[in-house]
């Protein structure tokens, strides 16, 4: 019985058998040895488990990384088309990557310039395409020429009597410059060290079959072709060696010889308005006006107290329709240039003195009402504001109303009718 312990000892710890090849050990010794072995084993077991856990952790990590890499391979968006007449920049269609689009010269991009491959594996934005730029959109052809759009360019079909890229030259002026001797001059030549050097007067350039002539060059054409800055506010006329600016009727050339100044026909008595009419100077012209008071109705009548003002006649007792009608109607005329920047205060209406406790301002109507709004500038003043750009020629009207109130009851109403004459040109 005693030797069973020895047997186990031998099996588990062969290296110590030599020291135990003696007789059987005492039970106490065997127990102590067993405890040592158990301790050793549990130590080994713990170390073994620890390394297994570490190994497992490493395997998990590796698996995760691999899974992520595999799924990333699949995180792409569908392939994008290259637009016709355009290019696509960027070829990676993985999540988070961007692709850019460009169009060739003469085309403009419609749609998204940049698209991003999103988490949802779809592209942001819209597939763009390249549209032929309509070079005719800006109406480049002058003097009644018809524009024909072509890729990257346009062609002007000129009306009779006009020529040039933009139909800017009257055939007559071209013909004149070629035939009228004022448009060509003799060059100044000098013999320098065996070779002849010729120069032309300012505004002329060497021309002719054998460079024997100085021909005027057309500054106006260079301007129209965009190679010179704006020469004239309105029109350009080529002259021998130079050019001159002209203005439309109703304007005169300013001192700078480039810009146009409105002629005040009213002040300079160049108008034909009658005695009962008021002459209103406009940009490029004038208007004769003679505002009328409203016709009498429902016992409400107006009398003209001045050329631009109507006052209500006294009302019959207890006639509500009459007392509710405007006490006065005044007329104003304004002249503006075309395409004026906005917002712009055009007109102010205010009460000289106030009988009630508050004032209210509003727009009643009038042709072109949508171009206006009303705002208050102080307790007694309302302002008529132009809120959109208007291209002339045009005539706009607005009716501005001022209401005087006492405890929310209307005491009196006043109306200003404003007429705005907008010229054809922006000067």
Ligand X SMILES: *[C@@H]1O[C@H](CO)[C@@H](O)[C@H](O)[C@H]1NC(C)=O
Q: How many residues does the chain have?
A: 427
User: Closest distance between ligand X and the C-beta of residue 389, in Å?
Assistant: 6
Of 20, 239, 301, 328, the residue at the interface with ligand X (CB under 6 A) is 239
User: Closest distance between ligand X and the C-beta of residue 383, in Å?
Assistant: 23
Find the farthest-apart pair of alpha carbons in the chain and give their distance in angstroms, rounded. 155
121 versus 254: smaller Cβ distance to ligand X: 121
- Where are the alpha helices (H) located in 171-302, listed in sequence order? 171-179, 219-224
Note whether 170 and 220 are within 8 A (CB). no
Task: Determine the Cα–Cα distance for residues 427 and 422; give it in Å rounded to an integer.
Answer: 11
Task: Determine the Cα–Cα distance for residues 241 and 104; give it in Å rounded to an integer.
Answer: 40
Residue 215 contacts ligand X per CB under 6 A: no
Task: Determine the Cα–Cα distance for residues 411 and 399; give it in Å rounded to an integer.
Answer: 19
Sketch the per residue contact string, 245 through 284, with ligand X: x for CB under 6 A, - otherwise: ---------------------------x------------
265 versus 404: smaller Cβ distance to ligand X: 265
Note whether 101 and 112 are within 8 A (CB). yes
User: CA distances (Å), 425 to each of 225, 261, 391, 409, in order?
Assistant: 22, 11, 8, 46
Binding range to ligand X, per CB under 6 A, among 47-55, 69-77, 220-228, 241-249? 69-77
Strand, helix or coil at 248? coil
Residue 74 contacts ligand X per CB under 6 A: yes
Residue 56 contacts ligand X per CB under 6 A: no
Strand, helix or coil at 332? strand
Going by their DSSP bridges, the two strands 98-103 and 213-216 should be labelled as unpaired
User: Closest distance between ligand X and the C-beta of residue 75, in Å?
Assistant: 9
23 versus 276: smaller Cβ distance to ligand X: 276
212 versus 272: smaller Cβ distance to ligand X: 272
Q: Which two tokens stand for residue 311?
A: 């006052």
Contacts of 29 (CB under 8 A, 6+ apart): none
Binding range to ligand X, per CB under 6 A, among 66-74, 195-203, 218-226, 350-358? 66-74
345 versus 391: smaller Cβ distance to ligand X: 391
22 versus 120: smaller Cβ distance to ligand X: 120
Q: Which two tokens stand for residue 110?
A: 């419609």
User: Closest distance between ligand X and the C-beta of residue 45, in Å?
Assistant: 41
Number of residues that bind ligand X (CB under 6 A): 17
Of 391, 395, 406, 410, the residue at the interface with ligand X (CB under 6 A) is 391
Torsion of CA 135, 136, 137, 142, to 10 degrees: 130
Angle CA(327)–CA(333)–CA(336) in degrees, nearest 5?
A: 145
Of 240, 250, 291, 392, the residue at the interface with ligand X (CB under 6 A) is 240
Whose structure tokens read 């072109």? 368
User: Closest distance between ligand X and the C-beta of residue 327, in Å?
Assistant: 18
Sketch the per residue contact string, 297 through 316, with ligand X: x for CB under 6 A, - otherwise: -xx----------------x
Strand, helix or coil at 312? strand
Sketch the per residue contact string, 150 through 189, with ligand X: x for CB under 6 A, - otherwise: --------------------------x---x-x-------
User: Closest distance between ligand X and the C-beta of residue 351, in Å?
Assistant: 29
Task: Determine the Cα–Cα distance for residues 19 and 109; give it in Å rounded to an integer.
Answer: 95
Task: Determine the Cα–Cα distance for residues 294 and 350; give it in Å rounded to an integer.
Answer: 22
Of 36, 63, 64, 319, the residue at the interface with ligand X (CB under 6 A) is 319
1 versus 317: smaller Cβ distance to ligand X: 317
Whose structure tokens read 């002719």? 208
Note whether 402 and 315 are within 8 A (CB). no
Sketch the per residue contact string, 330 through 359, with ligand X: x for CB under 6 A, - otherwise: ---------x--------------------
Q: Which two tokens stand for residue 350?
A: 């205010």
Binding range to ligand X, per CB under 6 A, among 67-75, 215-223, 328-336, 409-417? 67-75
Binding range to ligand X, per CB under 6 A, among 68-76, 199-207, 244-252, 398-406? 68-76
User: Closest distance between ligand X and the C-beta of residue 337, in Å?
Assistant: 11
Task: State the DSSP code for 16.
Answer: G
Q: Which residues bind ligand X (CB under 6 A)?
A: 70-71, 74, 176, 180, 182, 239-240, 272, 298-299, 316, 319, 339, 389, 391, 426
């Amino acid at each position: 019985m005693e030797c069973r312990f020895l047997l186990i000892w031998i099996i588990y710890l062969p290296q110590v058998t030599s020291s135990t090849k003696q007789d059987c050990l005492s039970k106490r010794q065997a127990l102590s040895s067993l405890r040592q072995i158990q301790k050793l084993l549990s130590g080994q077991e713990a170390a073994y488990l620890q390394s297994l856990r570490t190994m497992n952790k490493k395997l998990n990590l590796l698996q995760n990384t691999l899974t992520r890499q595999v799924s990333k391979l699949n995180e792409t968006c569908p392939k994008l088309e290259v637009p016709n007449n355009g290019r696509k920049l960027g070829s990676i269609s993985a999540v988070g990557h961007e692709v850019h689009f460009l169009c060739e010269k003469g085309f403009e991009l419609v749609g998204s310039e940049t698209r991003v491959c999103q988490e949802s594996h779809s592209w942001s934005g819209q597939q763009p395409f390249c549209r032929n730029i309509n070079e005719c959109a800006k109406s480049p052809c002058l003097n009644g020429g018809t524009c024909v759009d072509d890729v990257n360019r346009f062609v002007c079909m000129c009306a009779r009597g006009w020529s040039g890229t933009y139909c800017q030259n009257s055939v007559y002026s071209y013909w004149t410059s070629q035939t009228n001797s004022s448009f060509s001059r003799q060059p100044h030549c000098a013999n320098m060290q065996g070779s002849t050097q010729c120069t032309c007067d300012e505004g002329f350039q060497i021309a002719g079959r054998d460079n024997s002539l100085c021909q005027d060059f057309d500054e106006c054409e260079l301007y129209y072709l965009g190679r010179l800055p704006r020469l004239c506010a309105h029109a350009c006329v080529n002259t021998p060696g130079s050019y001159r600016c002209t203005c439309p009727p109703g304007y005169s050339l300013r001192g700078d010889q480039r810009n146009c100044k409105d002629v005040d026909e009213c002040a300079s008595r160049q108008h034909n308005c009658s005695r009962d009419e008021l002459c209103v100077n406009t940009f490029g012209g004038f208007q004769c006006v003679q505002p009328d008071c409203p016709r009498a109705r429902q016992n409400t009548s107006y009398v003209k107290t001045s050329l631009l003002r109507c006052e209500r006649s006294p009302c019959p007792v207890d006639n509500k329709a009459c007392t509710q009608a405007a006490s006065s109607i005044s007329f104003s005329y304004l002249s503006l240039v075309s395409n004026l920047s906005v917002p712009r205060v055009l007109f102010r209406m205010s009460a000289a003195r106030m009988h009630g406790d508050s004032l209210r301002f509003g727009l009643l109507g009038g042709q072109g009402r949508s171009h206006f709004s009303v705002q208050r500038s102080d307790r007694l003043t309302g302002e008529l504001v132009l809120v959109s750009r208007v291209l002339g020629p045009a005539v706009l009207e607005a009716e501005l109303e001022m209401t005087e109130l006492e405890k929310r009851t209307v005491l009196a109403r006043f109306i200003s009718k404003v007429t705005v004459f907008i010229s054809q040109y922006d000067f």
